Structure 1
Amino acid sequence: MSKDMDSSSTASHDGFPAYSIQTINWEKPMALPLEGIRICDLSQIMFGPCGTQVLGDFGADVIKIERPGIGDISRTIDRHRADRNDESANFLGMNRNKRSLALDVKSPEGLAIVKRIAKNSDVFVHNYRPGVIERLGLGYDDLRAENEKLIYVEGSGFGVKGPLAGKGGMDFVAQAIAGVAHGNKDPSGKPQLFPISASDFSSGMILAQGVLLALFHRERTGRGQKIEINLLDVFLVMQQQEVTQKLLTGKDFNPLQQDPMDVFATADGHIAVIAVLRPNPISDICNALEIPDITADPALSTLAKQMANREEYRRRMAEGFAKFATAECERRLDAVDILCSPVLPLGKTLKHPQVQENGILVEISHPKQGKFRTVGNAIKSSEVDQISLVPPPLLGQHSEEVLLEFGYSTGEIEVFKQSNVINK
């Protein structure tokens, strides 16, 4: 298999220059660091799948077990699909480098298949609500009895014990209870949710981190273990400064309210400005934008006074930004080493020369969707020149292949099909 990469800029995709996309001429590069690691993955939607995708990027064999006929919920929640036959962008973005086994795990035969796979796997991942997996007979103790070296990962919304253990959890619910929405109020004082699933993604990355930790521990000791990760904990970890400040002093820490970090309107757009880490950054900004230095005013002479009189501070600063286009504001602020960036919609971000230089966008050929573009892996390694880019699977695409690998005969597989244990 060739490892040549084509970065041609002679073509474009829907206005996106081709040179922003790495065209990979192989499906799975050789000698990835996690080759030989098998993952039995019962997770769905985002938390688990984006974590196991990272492991698959670096060579792990991820066997994704999905419900027959339906599959992972993320296959159907894309509101922008042209029709029901299109693949969901939600699913395509988080499920490359996986093999799909469409299996009724609630049937006795399906349960036995999962147990056989788990017995011969290194890692087992699920994000069922606490208690559900145990009722299926797939709890940690059940699987550990057959595979002492198994690394068992349980993802949940709020934890596996406690008053919220049985409550359904998703990122946007966790944002509310974790204090995130409360700390992100709009000008009227209404708490706001972030429009991205920050904890789902971060929990997935911690899941991958936990698996790697457990694999290293097993290499040293020969023992498997159980790992628990929940969205609430992860959101609190993401607020390390805020949590520590609250516990230490009882006060809230919110840099957007307590420091000169603002978004200002320019002549043709908006620019984000972080006026910190300098003796008098506000004075530097005023000089760069050719407006009177507001720090000469006793009412705005210090950071504390600027934040206490924020409306007046913003009004007077805004006059400078409104004079110039965004690019000129950025050029002037860069010249005096003030941290800033234009506020870009995602479409423009994807066309940015730095994104193209970073090579973070990849193109994958899918058996049903055709070529599609997505974001790759943020890890850049001097020893691993390219992640695996096997396309996300069709539902049940690998059911027969996986069952044959685990010792089932073609006759047994045909019986499973007829009894709807697996997809026909």
Structure 2
Amino acid sequence: MLPLEGITVLEFAQFMAGPSAGLKMADLGARVIKIERPRTGEAGRQIALKNLFIDESSMVFHTANRNKQSYAANLKDANDLERVKKLIAQADVMTHNFRPGVMEKIGLDYDTVHSINPKIIYGVVSGYGPVGPWAKKPGQDLLIQSLSGFVNLSGNAEDNPTASGLATSDIFTGVHLVQGILAALISRTKTGKGAKIEVSLLESTLDIQFELLTTYLNDGNQLPKRVKKGSAHAYVAAPYGLYQTKDSYMAIALTPLDELVKAMGLSLPNQFLAKETWFTERDAIMDFLREHLIKETTQYWLDLFEPLDFRVSAVFDYKTILDHDAYKVLKMDQDVETSDGIIMKTTRCPIRIDGERIFSRKSAPKVGEDNGLIDNEFNLN
């Protein structure tokens, strides 16, 4: 039995942050019902990566909405809204990511929902928080990465601001939403009361930068400076970074510079003997290392460094890692199947419980696919 079995989640959220939270709860056993507009469904069904679609919805929609059900309802229609309210009365959790004021206009704001079901956990995702000058601005991953300073951390010193290749703000916000909801569910077992959980893309993206923001706030407000070359951490001393070798690239993480240089059969230049220079002179130190690392293959250096327990690795692309035994032993991928019998390969839940991996065969639903079932089970008609 999965830990969230018996928990019913109503998901009014769309795109990625809210639905990714629903995905995690579904993987852990919750029954997640997407409340969608009739016919077209949530807007995220048409947001595609590489224009890839499965049936009438994008592949990226399927990645965030597998293992869920769909209930189509026009929230502007009094009869549909009444059915949804009956469903809310029997649910444990509901989530949405509408801009401030939208749910109030519909009549599904927290106070109204709480009056229907005082035990419900009401989760809200916003772009910038419920108040402030940006409260009603559209929140989107790239915009948040840009406004939060996050785009000034990746890449090299001469690069333009560089966004993450992932929907970083969305995904972490979804994780924080799940954390808040699970905490509220635990609290409910003690108090019998529900709660309103609020997260925002901006706050979550600031939070994941807590190390760097704390450094900035306590270091005279000095902005982070990226290294000249090597895509290293803005605040970590050499040798931390990526280096080209004779045949590819390698990563060197938290490894003492003097021990690394000694293992390479070299002497550390006198100007770099003092440990404080390992940060202040990191560009020059990394140039020194590059001059020698490029003379041998990545495997040569790994064979030299790994027995010494240095924090080093090769640099892989997707093909290399997915073909490697280290990936295969994880059994990280799974097949999911649509109601039309279309098979899609995707990743599984990364959590193991009592040593058991969590797999789910069900793909994302079609719009309104489960209306009849839910109407009957929850007595909505």
TM-score with structure 1 setting the length: 0.82
More relative contact order, 1 or 2 (CA 8 Å, 6+ apart): 1
Contact 1:86 1:369 in 2 (8 A): no
1:94 corresponds to 2:42: no
SS at match of 1:400: helix
SS at match of 1:250: coil
Which of 264, 269, 280 is 1:308 aligned to? 280
Partner AA of 1:286 in structure 2: V
Deviation at 1:335, TM superposition (A): 1.9
Q: Which runs of 5+ in 2 are unaligned?
A: 226-232
Structure-1 separation of matches of 2:112 and 2:140 = 27
Contact 1:266 1:321 in 2 (8 A): yes
1:337 corresponds to 2:312: no
Task: Note the aligned Cα RMSD (angstroms).
Answer: 2.1
Structure-2 separation of matches of 1:234 and 1:72 = 23
Structure-1 separation of matches of 2:235 and 2:214 = 18
Structure-2 separation of matches of 1:170 and 1:263 = 30
Contact 1:39 1:121 in 2 (8 A): yes
Contact 1:264 1:321 in 2 (8 A): yes
Deviation at 1:383, TM superposition (A): 6.8
Q: Deviations over 1:19-73 (max 9, x none)?
A: xxxxxxxxxxxx2221111111101111011111111112111110112222222
- Matches of residues 206-285 of structure 1 in structure 2 within 5 Å? 206-252=176-222, 255-260=233-238, 261-276=240-255, 281-285=256-260
Contact 1:284 1:336 in 2 (8 A): no
Structure-2 separation of matches of 1:80 and 1:199 = 20
Which of 288, 293, 299 is 1:321 aligned to? 293
Partner AA of 2:325 in structure 1: P
Aligned to 1:141: 111
Deviation at 1:86, TM superposition (A): 5.9
Quick check: 373-382 or 253-262, which moved more?
A: 253-262
Contact 1:77 1:90 in 2 (8 A): yes
Aligned to 2:161: 191
- Matches of residues 17-166 of structure 1 in structure 2 within 5 Å? 31-81=1-51, 85=55, 87-166=57-136
Partner AA of 2:324 in structure 1: H
Aligned to 1:372: 344
Deviation at 1:322, TM superposition (A): 1.2
SS at match of 1:392: coil
Q: Which runs of 5+ in 1 are unaligned?
A: 1-30, 410-424
Partner AA of 2:261 in structure 1: C
Q: Deviations over 1:340-369 (max 9, x none)?
A: 121212232222322222222222222346
TM-score with structure 2 setting the length: 0.91
Aligned to 2:366: 394
SS at match of 2:276: helix
Deviation at 1:268, TM superposition (A): 1.7
Contact 1:59 1:388 in 2 (8 A): no
Q: How many residues align?
A: 372
1:404 corresponds to 2:376: yes
Deviation at 1:109, TM superposition (A): 2.2
Partner AA of 2:237 in structure 1: D
Contact 2:337 2:361 in 1 (8 A): no
Deviation at 1:408, TM superposition (A): 4.0
Question: Cα 1:312–1:247, aligned 2, differ >3 Å: closer, same or farther?
Answer: closer
